[in-house]
Amino acid sequence: MNMRNVSVFGLGYVGLTFAICLASKGFNVIGVDVDKFKIDLISNGKIPFHEPGLNELLDEVLRNGNFRCTDNYWTAITESSISFICVGTPSKPDGSIDLKYVKNVSTDVGTVLKYKDMYHLIVVRSTVTPGTTRNLVRKVVEHLSGKKCGFHFGLCMNPEFLREGSAVHDIFHSDRVIIGEFDSKSGDLLESFYSNFYGSHTPPILRTSLENAELIKYANNAFLAMKISFINELANICEYIGNTDVKVIAKGIGLDHRVNPSFLNAGLGWGGSCFPKDVQALISFAKNLNYDPILLNAVKKVNDLQPYRAVDMAKKLLGKLKNKKIAILGLAFKPGTDDMRNAVSIKIVNRLVEEGARVVVYDPVAMDNARKIFGNNVVYADSSIQCIKGCDCCIIVTEWDEFRYLKPEVFVKYMRFPAVIDGRRIFDPSKFLGRVKYVAIGLGL
Ligand code: UGA
């Protein structure tokens, strides 16, 4: 069995990045997706989303023939020895996750394995709640193939920890590899697969049960979300006290190695396709077990309210917002991506529009996505300068580097009333205070 022949199911941001990175290390990778349009796009060297460094790698692996895409799951499974399931697990209206795509791929794998004589390793990389790999994937594959898990085929759960915008870096410089295994043979095979991929740079590998691996993924995202909600709550408290600055508080506690400084940047809240979905899914999962997740609920509640702090600040500065012209700098849920899923900018812009403000928006890469969300409700600017021109207030919503270079004089020159709400703490208060009207998250004046 040649563990260098790999199929990756689901060519979204996780699957495609992973597939291309494997291919760039000489693995022979077949990417599988049901979306023909996407397959054509990728086969022609185009990445359907913004991810730094990925286009160059795609060109390379298409050129050297290590990567190809197809919607033919049959050949993909027969021509590979290991299949990674990387399909999405979107939220259902009640906050629990929809497992239909995981089930579809399990069905494909089970159907083909019925006719495949060789051992095949199945690895779930999609974010799934505890029990899914054992009770859904294993059962579907066993049922359709008539074969036995742990004997004819292997099964692992191997969560991913990629951040959008630095996904390529995160794959090559992973902090750890978590291997949830159905049996030790499956775990041994996946461990040697990763030793092969990382070579002398293999990160620590933790081998455990399928359920632990599934829960580690949720625990990881929920913990990071908790850190941010914690510092955001502290930021809100700071705003009621003179001479305080949440940035200094974060620095002070971050110097304690038990706390660690990362993910303590206070702001307008966390968004994206992962934290909101995963925190909510863990809450729903716990509730279904009849456990009330008090802390997780609070983490979410702080975050639900945090974007509106910017709107409240605008009201304090301007009084009624009706007919006030407000500039929004940054729309993506974080810098380095065009992704606006659950971006806090959506809540802020919608609330401002509801209050009758005239909103002008600008983002270096997310404008196409913004148009789909805001339609004709806002004005779209081509640059940050054009965005702030003639405005009564400017809110920094996403901390893109290009905004950090904006000097107070620029706001004074172009705005009607130079008021800046620093929602991501990108400016030095000592340079802004006294030159423009400056208020910032977590700055107690
Ligand atoms: C997150 C995790 O960081 C990844 O490890 C995980 O693999 C991924 O979810 C996933 O589950 O797929 P991502 O959603 O790309 O990655 O974004 P992060 O960089 O974690 O940022 C999430 C949100 O938190 C953003 O809105 C960001 O602006 C916000 N944030 C982050 C803060 O407000 N403050 C911080 O200090 C850090």
The residue contributing the CA closest to ligand 1 atom 3 is: 163
Cβ atoms of residues 326 and 394 within 8 Å: yes
For 230, residues 6+ apart whose C-beta sits below 8 A from its C-beta are none
Phi, psi of 395 (to 5 degrees): -110, 125
Ligand 1 contact via 162 beta carbon (within 6 Å): yes
Give dist(CA 47, CA 72) in Å, integer: 20
CB atoms within 10 A of CB 367: 16
**What's the CA-to-centroid distance between 166 and ligand 1, angstroms?**
11
Return the structure tokens found at 281: 């899914």
- Helix axes 275-288 and 294-305, enclosed angle (nearest 10): 150
Q: Which residues pair with 122 in a beta bridge?
A: 83, 155
Give dist(CA 298, CA 99) in Å, integer: 26
Tens of pLDDT, residue by residue over 295-341, are 999 999 999 999 999 999 999 999 999 999 999 999 999 998 999 99
Give dist(CA 265, CA 246) in Å, integer: 9
Identify the segments of the chain with pLDDT beneath 50.
none
pLDDT score of 278: 97
- Helix ranges restricted to H, 25-157: 36-43, 54-63, 73-78, 100-113, 132, 139-145
Cβ atoms of residues 207 and 242 within 8 Å: no
Ligand 1 contact via 271 beta carbon (within 6 Å): yes
> Which helix (H) or strand (E) segment is 439 a member of?
strand 437-440
Return the structure tokens found at 379: 């004005």
Cβ atoms of residues 427 and 230 within 8 Å: no
**Of 238, 274, 391, 393, which is the active-site residue?**
274
Say which amino acid occupies 95. G
Domains 5-208 and 237-444 share a fold: yes
The residue contributing the CA closest to ligand 1 atom 31 is: 263
Return the structure tokens found at 200: 């002398």
Q: What is the DSSP string of 158-200?
A: ----PPTTSHHHHHHT-S-EEEEESSHHHHHHHHHHHHHHHGG
**What's the CA-to-centroid distance between 163 and ligand 1, angstroms?**
6
Tens of pLDDT, residue by residue over 34-64, are 999 999 999 999 999 888 899 999 999 999 9
pLDDT score of 3: 84
pLDDT score of 404: 98
Ordered by start, the domain boundaries in the chain are 5-208, 237-444
Angle at alpha carbon of residue 424, lines to 390 and 393, rounded to 5°: 20
SS3 category, 149: strand
pLDDT score of 443: 98
pLDDT score of 1: 73
pLDDT score of 2: 82
Active site residue 274: yes
Q: Output the CA torsion sign for 362, 366, 368, 369.
A: negative
**What's the CA-to-centroid distance between 404 and ligand 1, angstroms?**
20
Identify which of 17, 125, 169, 270 to mutate to test ligand 1's pocket (most ligand atoms within 8 A of the CB): 270
Ligand 1 contact via 33 beta carbon (within 6 Å): no
**What's the CA-to-centroid distance between 400 and ligand 1, angstroms?**
15
Return the structure tokens found at 365: 């890469």
CA dihedral 40, 43, 47, 53 (to 10 degrees): 180
Q: Are strands 67-70 and 443-444 parallel, antiparallel or unpaired?
A: unpaired
pLDDT score of 439: 98
**What's the CA-to-centroid distance between 336 and ligand 1, angstroms?**
12
The residue contributing the CA closest to ligand 1 atom 13 is: 163
Return the structure tokens found at 157: 């759960």
Ligand 1 contact via 231 beta carbon (within 6 Å): no
Ligand 1 contact via 423 beta carbon (within 6 Å): no
Ligand 1 contact via 160 beta carbon (within 6 Å): yes
Residue of 235, 232, 223 lying closest to 275 (CA atoms): 223
Cβ atoms of residues 404 and 432 within 8 Å: no
For 289, residues 6+ apart whose C-beta sits below 8 A from its C-beta are none
Return the structure tokens found at 147: 């074969």
Let me know if 95 is exposed, middle or buried by CB neighbors in 10 A (0-12, 13-18, 19+): middle
Identify which of 176, 215, 274 to mutate to test ligand 1's pocket (most ligand atoms within 8 A of the CB): 274
Q: Looking at the domain 5-208, which fold is it? A: Rossmann fold (3.40.50)
> Which helix (H) or strand (E) segment is 362 a member of?
strand 358-362
Strand order in the sheet with 379-380: 379-380, 358-362, 325-329, 393-396, 419-422, 437-440
CATH among 3.40.50.80, 3.30.70.260, 2.30.330.10, 3.40.50.720 for 237-444: 3.40.50.720
Phi, psi of 177 (to 5 degrees): -120, 125
Give dist(CA 29, CA 62) in Å, integer: 10
Task: Count how many residues are written for the chain.
Answer: 445
Its pTM stands at 0.96
Give dist(CA 310, CA 168) in Å, integer: 33
